[in-house]
Chains A and B, each alone.
Chain A
Amino acid sequence: MVRCFLIHTVCPVSALGSGESRVLYSRVFGPDESVWSDQDRGLSPEERRLLQKEKITAVARQVRSAVSLYREASGRLLVETVPGEEALALQEADGGVVRLRAGDPFSEEMSALWLGVQSLGFTLVCEPHENLLLAEGTLRNLTRHCLETLHMLGQGSEVLLRSNRVDALLSRLLPHGQLLFLNHRFAQSLEKEVTAYLAK
């Protein structure tokens, strides 16, 4: 099961400290894990939400650090792409996986798969036994859709103001965090549904 999907910055943000990341979209799947952990049992619902938000920020920070180290090591120059070049942007994207140790920040060990498209990162936090090949493919697909439907290669802020599109996308391609084995026909069928939703 996928625990969460994030879209966050992987470039320096002036309002934040260095190494910090701004989370633009986050979706956590399933019940809140703090309800089941022994140490967090006494928390109020507000505190639980706060804890969850902080865990998300912690993941974004770790991925940001991984992305910048990766880019530094590979020494490749970032290619600026414009709207319309989504396929190229995806092809040029960096990808990797970060091991999140148990307790940092989730109670169990997790694998955070990431795709870095210029200044933004798309991250999928998966449980350890999950099929990472499938997760990788799903992440690429999700990223492609997000780039296209939210015109993310431009200067707009649609990711903030049209988050319901991402929600609808996730409800089809990653329902409640479930990775799906979709061949091209099934995928087409779901994408048709998403397109129909977006047309409204």
Chain B
Amino acid sequence: MYSHSSESLIKQAREIQESELQKFQSRLGKLLHGKELGHEAVDSLQRLHLILSATKYTRTLPPELHKRVKALLSSPAEQFQVLGSAVLRETLPPSGQEVNYNQENLLQLNSHAAALLLSQAGSRADLSSLCAQLLRSLESRQPEGPANSLTHTLPILNAVLTHSPECLTEDHVTLLSKRLVDWLRYASITQGGGAPSGGFFTGPRSRQPVPTAELDGTVSGDFFTVLCVGQGFTEDQWMNVYSFSMLRHWLLTYHSVSNGNNTADTAPANRLQLSLSLSLSHSFSNDDRSEVDGSVVSMVSATSSSSRLLPPKERLREKAFQYCQRLIEQSDRKAHKKTDTDLQKACLVEAVCILDCVCGEDASLVYRTFPCIKALFGRLSSDLSFARVLLPIAQFYLNHGEMAAVDCECVWKLVFGRFPAELFNNQFLAHELLRFLRLNLESLQLRVPQYSHSFPNLLKFLAWDSPAVVDDFVDLLPSLVTAGTAVELLHTLLDLPCLSATLVLQVRSTCLPISEPGGRGLLSLDAFRSQSLRGLFLFLLRGEAGSGDTINRLSTLHELLAETADWPRVVQCAQTVPVLLHIFFNTVVAIADEKLLAHLVQVMLERSSLLLNIPKYNKEIYRVFSCHLLRLCKLHPSLVVDQSNELLEFAGATAKVYSKEEIYTHVVWVLGEYLSVSCDSRCSVRLITSCFETLEAVLFEITSSAPPPGADCPVPRVVTSLMSALAKLASRSHDLIPRVSLFLSKLRTVTRGGSVAWCSDEEDLVAIVTRGEELWSLLKAPGVAQSVLTPPPLVTTPQWHRDANVAMPLRLRALTNLTHSQ
């Protein structure tokens, strides 16, 4: 598809020499001068466009040529309008030829010329002029004018609204509201006959006007909408389509009210209105519907109040409301073509969103709308192919459910239950559902009690397609961290790659036959399907938190999934876990009490040897654990004494020196630093001694012999950390000092003999020995040793000007600078 020829074309266009370009431009200028413009002109213009657009640096055209190209914008042949507009959009007008939005005769603008004006607008004033001109042309149009000249007006106005809604004045808004009402509600309901391809039967005899039809072929019984079809269309029917296409944006721009206003202020005034509306909607919807054939009479027109007396804005709201209700009715019909079925779904989404918007503006509409939305929900909730339509419905329930006192339980069961569990691999649904969560976080946390327990399900989106949704989870994860579920969440995050593998197995197991001859992934797939091991996988696939933090046979599960460690999906998922863990810990620190933090430390120590063995994954996790272990202990030093048993158990396992040196180093460090009476009064001499002995044993072991077969030499930092920790502990319990000193002097002797089996690098050995000597000499003065090795907080967190001793020199220095600067 993308070939070498395309690449070389672009290169040529970029590197064209100035002289060649000038020749080309003058040739083109001559071509455009002629009366009849043919293929050569088209090709040359196209090449000019390529030359201009191939580079991000702007090239300007010679003024003559620019003028000629500009003249093309009003050429009768559309191809030249298109090319003229495209070329001019890629360049800038030479000075003196800039567009003056006020003076130009914009009334006869075609769509392509308008596009150019829109793209080069430099200020609000420009856009305001453009809008004013467009609206003027809307008003003063001749009825026999070409149909297309009106249709681009609405898209242009919509484009302006995005950036600068103030470009339309109050009058403009009123005017356009009125026109929108006309087009939406009162477009003709007979088919347009404009197409000349009428076949045998066009003749001077005018045909009987044929009404438009619905998508299932029955005759339309109510006003025209985008879901009506005909052989040809009249202009106002086209405008109906364009109007509806921009309606939601229009309402959001000019009609939206923040949700807070509705409940408090308008409640008393609306109560009477609400009861009236309620009785109205009930009487019509219950009785008439059953009697009347749905294709002939639509309920919508029958229920409309006489809205002629309303001001334009409110009238538009009412008509929008009716239009949406009609669309919802029409979407129930069985369309003949697939594209129309897809359109019906899109219309449902749009209709519900618009209804949500107008109900937000006028709370009385909620009671008229809810029966319809509820019925729609009932109709669609069992069909997962309508999942994306059900999301705007969920938004509607969230915004207005409380006011209408409707039970939303079934909605949340879908959104937090079935959708993530069964549609985790639908990337569009994932995007929209996660967006829904992000935008409504506060509301959901308030109104949906099961939100914080739904993370096992929600994380399925992440486990399946991490790159696409990790961004959303970075935003959502903090809201899922609660004190009650934090431990389970930590386990779930650590096992996310396992969940990823399980989901792949789940999808494969439904697609592949039971017995696959020599296929990939056989072991894990068999395990997934076997009765005895199923429970392990089912735990990962659970929908809600609360049934247990994790399973006992986690190591079995990891073994079964060992072969999945190189599956791309699993690897991609594993890459996102460290980031999420950081977010988890940052959030949990703020809400956790000491008991929970202690539990988390335990989990970190346990899980460091219980992870799915993916290359690099384990190392990354250890790094995260180390960072946060340190942080937690710094914040709550008493944690170390509290969890001393677990920490010592970890530190006493010599094997960890070789396989988990990062986290091992940190554990040793926190033990040395915080196992003291000043951090926690429960710390006893016995505890210090037992810790000392544990670390001493490990240090002896790793420095007395070569590393076990298959392992590298211990990282020097581990050795020095152990030595420092021992020294710190000894400085607090002076009986231990002789033991450390003995070891350190022995170390010096041994290493003087040359190389050692446990350290391959000479420089490292020197560093270790130097450190040993420093500690040895420090310990000769026990009183000093303690404050040097574990300085009091006064020294490590200086208070600068708040500290009486430190403040004086600072003050003097500041005064000196002030007085001596001149």
Contacts and interface: CB of A to CB of B under 8 A. Distances in A.
A9 B2 contact: yes
B230 interface: yes
B79 interface: yes
Interface string B43-69: 100110110010011100000000000
A189 B471 contact: no
A133 B349 contact: yes
B6 A157 contact: yes
A46 B339 CA distance: 42
Interface in B429-443: 431-432, 435
Interface in A15-71: 15, 22, 24, 26, 28-33, 35-36, 45-46, 49-50, 53-54, 57, 65-66, 69-70
Contact of B159 (A30, A36, A129, A153): A30
Interface string B96-130: 00000000000000011011001101110001000
Contacts of A95: 427-428
A24 B6 contact: yes
Interface in B237-296: 238, 241-242, 244-246, 248-249, 252
B160 interface: yes
B9 A133 contact: no
Contacts of A160: 6, 9-10, 50
A187 interface: yes
B774 to A, nearest CB: 48
Interface string B387-424: 01100000000000000000000000000000000000
B1 A15 contact: no
B343 A49 contact: no
Contact of B9 (A66, A153, A157, A175): A157
Interface stretch (B149-157, B170-178, B490-498, B783-791): B149-157
Contacts of A152: 1
Interface in A79-128: 95-99, 101, 111, 117-120, 127-128
A69 B572 contact: yes
A13 B58 CA distance: 24
Contacts of B9: 157, 160-161
Interface residues of B, number: 93
A13 B127 CA distance: 40
B347 A45 contact: no
Interface in A111-166: 111, 117-120, 127-129, 131-134, 136-137, 152-157, 159-164
A134 B353 CA distance: 13
A56 to B, nearest CB: 9
B566 to A, nearest CB: 12
Most B C-beta atoms less than 10 A away, residue of A15, A28, A35: A35
Contacts of A14: 7
A31 to B, nearest CB: 5
Interface in B1-29: 1-3, 5-7, 9-11
A36 B163 contact: yes
Nearest to A168: B82
Nearest to B121: A31
A189 B79 CA distance: 19
Contacts of A11: 2
Contacts, number: 239
A1 B232 contact: no
B726 to A, nearest CB: 48
A27 B342 CA distance: 26
Contacts of B347: 181
Contacts of A156: 3, 5
**A interface, how many residues as a size bin?**
35 or more
Given A99-B471, A160-B9, A187-B339, A181 B244 contact: yes
Contact of A176 (B79, B156, B163): B156
Interface in B455-484: 465, 467-468, 471-472
A15 B11 contact: yes
B746 to A, nearest CB: 54
A23 to B, nearest CB: 9
A195 interface: no
A140 B600 CA distance: 49
Contact of B242 (A31, A36, A162, A178): A178
With a 10 A CB-CB cut-off, give which of A65, A98, A182, A184 has the most chain B CB atoms: A184
A9, A13, A178 interface centre (most CB from chain B within 10 Å): A178
A54 B56 contact: yes
Contacts of A155: 1, 3, 5
B56 A53 contact: yes
A131 B156 contact: no
B705 to A, nearest CB: 45
Nearest to A185: B229
Contacts of A159: 6
Interface string B328-351: 000000000101101101110110
A57 B578 CA distance: 29
A176 B511 CA distance: 43
Contacts of A132: 388, 428, 431-432
A133 B346 contact: yes
Contacts of A119: 1-2
Contact of A96 (B3, B118, B468): B468
A63 to B, nearest CB: 11
A155 B345 CA distance: 37
B78 interface: yes
Interface string A164-200: 1001100100011111111111110100000001001
A17 B252 CA distance: 42
B303 interface: no
Contacts of B189: none
A72 B568 contact: yes
Contact of B50 (A1, A66, A161): A161
Contacts of A168: 78-79, 82
A197 B79 contact: yes
B82 A70 contact: no
Contacts of B160: 30-31
A124 to B, nearest CB: 13
Given A97-B431, A181-B241, A175 B339 contact: no
Contact of A181 (B50, B115, B245, B427): B245
A147 to B, nearest CB: 9
Contacts of B242: 178, 180
Contacts of B78: 168, 197
A157 B2 CA distance: 8
Interface in B195-231: 195, 215, 226-231
Contacts of B736: none
B149 to A, nearest CB: 13
B569 interface: yes
Given A49-B56, A49-B58, A163-B46, 14 more contacts: A15-B7, A70-B467, A95-B428, A99-B468, A120-B1, A132-B432, A154-B1, A156-B5, A157-B6, A163-B50, A176-B114, A181-B350, A184-B229, A186-B233
20 contacts: A30-B119, A31-B159, A45-B58, A53-B56, A97-B428, A98-B468, A131-B346, A131-B353, A133-B346, A134-B350, A137-B342, A157-B5, A160-B50, A161-B50, A167-B85, A176-B111, A181-B346, A181-B347, A183-B343, A185-B231
Interface of B: 1-3, 5-7, 9-11, 42-43, 46-47, 49-50, 53, 56-58, 77-79, 82-83, 85-86, 92, 111-112, 114-115, 118-119, 121-123, 127, 151-152, 154-156, 158-160, 162-164, 195, 215, 226-233, 238, 241-242, 244-246, 248-249, 252, 337, 339-340, 342-343, 345-347, 349-350, 353, 388-389, 427-428, 431-432, 435, 465, 467-468, 471-472, 568-569, 572
Name the 10 nearest CB pairs between A and B, nearest first: A178-B155, A30-B159, A53-B56, A176-B155, A134-B346, A181-B226, A157-B6, A133-B346, A69-B467, A175-B155
Interface of A: 1, 9, 11, 13-15, 22, 24, 26, 28-33, 35-36, 45-46, 49-50, 53-54, 57, 65-66, 69-70, 72-73, 75, 95-99, 101, 111, 117-120, 127-129, 131-134, 136-137, 152-157, 159-164, 167-168, 171, 175-187, 189, 197, 200
